[in-house]
Chain A
Amino acid sequence: MKKNGAQIALESLRREGVKVIFGYPGGSVLPFFDAMYEMKEPRFILTRHEQGAAHAADGYARATGKVGVCVATSGPGATNLVTGIATAHMDSVPMVAITGQVKTFLIGNDAFQEADVTGITRPITKHNFLVKDVKELAQTIKEAFHIARTGRPGPVVIDLPVDVQMASCDFHYPKEANIRSYKPTLESHKGQIKRIAKAIEKSEKPVLYVGGGVIISGASHELTELAKKYHIPVTTTLLGMGAFPDTDELSLGMLGMHGTVYANHAIQESDLIIAVGARFDDRVTGKLDEFAPHAKIAHIDIDPSSVSKNVTVDIPCIGDAKHALHGLIRALKKKPDTEKWLKKINEWKKKAPMKYKDDNKLRPQYVLEEIYRATKGDAIITTEVGQNQMWAAQYYKYTKPRTFLSSGGLGTMGYGFPAAIGAKVGKPEKTVFDIAGDGSIQMNIQELATAVLEKVHVKIAVLNNCYLGMVRQWQELFYKKRYSYTYLSTCSCPDLVKLAESYGAVGIRVTKKKDVRKAIEKAIKIENTVIIDFTVEEEENVMPMVPAGQAINRMIGGMA
């Protein structure tokens, strides 16, 4: 059956099981949008900015585990996707972005709305394609989805010139993408698994250091079994939140720059770190030379280039986390004796728990605790970037994977709100909260129209402190309180309540601690998108904190 390129693209997306596309039209994707006219499936969600579409596709992918799809036109449409694509790339999120391109014979001519999209996105994608022949389109889409969702997932861009969208050919959707040069290793080497098992059996102070890879691989169950059966404490990275229940007594919470005191001390005193699906990011390790000085390091990861990149690994193990952990549980013959170790950790927990000043003032940490209470820990939390993100990681307890969505690697302000929309589309039964700051929320505020008109009812908690809080905090601590351009005075400009109302959403302002609980409960009940504007303490800091470049047990607000 003959179809044109646009119809082939759309039908190929259906064959890949795509249920929703986020995007924005323009001149070079007109044939594709024409093919979507009056279609029933997939659902198309028109955002108000291409960046919103990219982040929404990302949020959808993180919440569901499926590939997120976004579409934009050539030139500025495509460049507006770039931040969203880079965000997905840094955090290994499966995404396929389709961009219109000028006609093939105009490529390179500086044509209207032309940009070298494969060139621009090369370093921020797992792979990208420029399709010059309609006969290659179906195979390309098959390969794009295969690359995006397998191995260490990531975004793939398909640049599709408008004349290729209009050209016709016979349509057959290939059954498989056979890429000779791309065969990710799934099953780990048995010998390496055995070596890790032996190291665990001998260890007295083991720590499981867990990253987003465990969530991506769906290995939370295996991880929890391993930790609980063999009494090994677990610390997670920002992207690993939810891989292991925060409520479990073996949980150490997050490690690193704003991690818990006890997680960081456990790492520094450990004799064996079992890293799973984590990449020893600088926000985790602090000063590299002094990171975990007594520990042997085992590293399970699907990406060989993550192993021994920053920290030299003693027992590398390449493979999928689920396979590897399953193998590890089977390979373990006896329990390590960790009783003393766990006792010591519990003493640290008592000595230096996560805490903030509990007084009558409206403090941001309290807002997070109340959101946790009101949602019974069952919500999906997305975050912007900065203080809001860290408090969301520290004061909400995550017990299930895919419930904490945050731009960890790239640190993209403006991510949380569109990501919340994407998450809610993928998981409509869940309450979805975007934890925002008064700075970040304005970076994609236009998506209020998308949320309201598409009836994707998300809740936005703005921790409004009138500042770009995290940058201000660094200025306070390391730049002699010289608050250079971090005061936003957004407490009044814009008036977020009125702004919400102007979009047809609901705005609630909370200025007193005693009103927090009621406002959150009310917002959850309202069947609409709600902004709760919490006027919080202006100069509250995220604590504890490892100053950049220090060893991670040398924390401000740590143990004396």
Chain B
Amino acid sequence: MEKFTLSVLVENKFGVLARVAGLFSARGFNINSLAVAETEDPSVSRIIMVVDANEKILEQIKKQLNKLIDVVKVIDLTEKDYIDRELVLVKVKVDTKTRDKVIQAVDSLDAKVVDMGKGSITIEEVGDTKKINATLELLGPFGISEIVRTGRIAIQADSKE
């Protein structure tokens, strides 16, 4: 199984996300992450989904999505050059000994401290999957108490055309 990134344009109506999610559960497809929001056209929403699939399953996913009446367009970004980003908020446990080390690590990562509590620091990182994973790996040893990820968003890259 590999991960594929799909950009799905749908009618911005109630119940559409349920149709998409229902399709995945009914047919046994796996969604890895999902990000949904309105586009530049308020009548259209964009769903960026990362799916676990092989080529054959991916083909079915695309066809089944296209079959939904409210799906306007399915774009398989995996076939194209694209820029992807994810935002993660990580809460790291700290004490007087580790606090400075965590802050140092954050600086070296080009991440941001967004909140400091008595026993924890909350860090924000934006980047592609590789960068996010590297950040989590580096912060892991300090003791992560909570991770919140937005899921991947992605856009087609025009620079390489």
* Bound CA span A283–B56, Å: 22
Interface residue SS majority, chain B = helix
Interface string of B52-74 (1 = CB under 8 A from A): 00001001100110110111110
The answer to whether residues A305 and B19 also contact, given A123-B26, A180-B72, A181-B11 and a CB cut-off of 8 A, is: no
The answer to whether residues A304 and B22 also contact, given A130-B15, A181-B11, A181-B71 and a CB cut-off of 8 A, is: no
- Which of A122, A147, A308 lies in contact with B59, CB distance below 8 A? A308
Interface string of A120-136 (1 = CB under 8 A from B): 00110011001000000
Asked whether B18 is an interface residue with its Cβ less than 8 Å from the other chain, the reply is yes
The answer to whether residues A122 and B22 also contact, given A304-B63, A308-B59 and a CB cut-off of 8 A, is: yes
The answer to whether residues A181 and B22 also contact, given A118-B15, A304-B63, A305-B60 and a CB cut-off of 8 A, is: no
Which residues in A have their C-beta under 8 angstroms from that of B67? 303-305
Which residues in A have their C-beta under 8 angstroms from that of B64? 305
Please determine whether B63 and A305 come into contact, CB atoms closer than 8 angstroms: yes
- Which of A127, A130, A147, A309 lies in contact with B60, CB distance below 8 A? A309
Which residues in A have their C-beta under 8 angstroms from that of B70? 127, 181
Please determine whether A147 and B22 come into contact, CB atoms closer than 8 angstroms: no
* Bound CA span A123–B25, Å: 10
Nearest-CB residue, chain A, relative to B25: A123
Interface string of B65-99 (1 = CB under 8 A from A): 01101111100000000000000000000000000
Please determine whether A181 and B72 come into contact, CB atoms closer than 8 angstroms: yes
Most B Cβ at <10 Å: residue of A119, A122, A303: A122
Nearest-CB residue, chain B, relative to A132: B14
Please determine whether A122 and B69 come into contact, CB atoms closer than 8 angstroms: no
* Bound CA span A245–B73, Å: 41
Which residues in B have their C-beta under 8 angstroms from that of A309? 60
* Bound CA span A445–B11, Å: 43
* Bound CA span A387–B48, Å: 48
The answer to whether residues A181 and B19 also contact, given A305-B60, A305-B64, A309-B60 and a CB cut-off of 8 A, is: no
Q: What's the tally of chain A residues with a CB closer than 8 Å to chain B?
A: 18
Nearest-CB residue, chain B, relative to A147: B69
* Bound CA span A147–B70, Å: 12
Shortest Cβ distance from residue A378 to the other chain B in the assembled complex, whole angstroms:
37
Which residues in A have their C-beta under 8 angstroms from that of B26? 123
Which residues in A have their C-beta under 8 angstroms from that of B71? 181
* Bound CA span A122–B19, Å: 7
The answer to whether residues A182 and B69 also contact, given A304-B63, A305-B64 and a CB cut-off of 8 A, is: yes
Asked whether A179 is an interface residue with its Cβ less than 8 Å from the other chain, the reply is yes
* Bound CA span A147–B23, Å: 18
Which residues in B have their C-beta under 8 angstroms from that of A122? 15, 18-19, 22
* Bound CA span A182–B73, Å: 10
Nearest-CB residue, chain A, relative to B65: A305
* Bound CA span A445–B63, Å: 40
Most A Cβ at <10 Å: residue of B60, B64, B69: B69
Which residues in A have their C-beta under 8 angstroms from that of B22? 122-123
Most B Cβ at <10 Å: residue of A123, A126, A130: A123
Among residues 11 to 68 in chain B, which have CB atoms less than 8 Å away from a CB atom of chain A?
11, 15, 18-19, 22-23, 26, 56, 59-60, 63-64, 66-67
- Which of A126, A130, A304, A305 lies in contact with B69, CB distance below 8 A? A126
* Bound CA span A305–B59, Å: 9
Nearest-CB residue, chain B, relative to A304: B63
Please determine whether A119 and B18 come into contact, CB atoms closer than 8 angstroms: yes
* Bound CA span A118–B15, Å: 9
Please determine whether A127 and B69 come into contact, CB atoms closer than 8 angstroms: yes
Shortest Cβ distance from residue A135 to the other chain B in the assembled complex, whole angstroms:
16
Shortest Cβ distance from residue B145 to the other chain A in the assembled complex, whole angstroms:
36
* Bound CA span A309–B56, Å: 8
Shortest Cβ distance from residue A104 to the other chain B in the assembled complex, whole angstroms:
12
* Bound CA span A126–B69, Å: 8
Interface string of A354-365 (1 = CB under 8 A from B): 000000000000
* Bound CA span A117–B10, Å: 22
Which residues in A have their C-beta under 8 angstroms from that of B11? 181
Nearest-CB residue, chain B, relative to A118: B15
Shortest Cβ distance from residue B115 to the other chain A in the assembled complex, whole angstroms:
36
* Bound CA span A303–B23, Å: 16
Closest 8 pairs between A and B when the two form their complex, measured CB to CB: A305-B63, A181-B72, A127-B69, A123-B26, A304-B63, A182-B69, A305-B64, A305-B67
Q: List 24 A-B contacts (CB under 8 A).
A: A119-B18, A122-B18, A122-B19, A122-B22, A123-B22, A123-B26, A126-B69, A127-B69, A127-B70, A179-B69, A180-B72, A181-B10, A181-B69, A181-B70, A182-B69, A303-B67, A304-B67, A305-B60, A305-B63, A305-B64, A305-B66, A305-B67, A308-B56, A308-B59
A contact set with B: CB distance below 8 Å: 118-119, 122-123, 126-127, 130, 147, 179-182, 303-305, 307-309
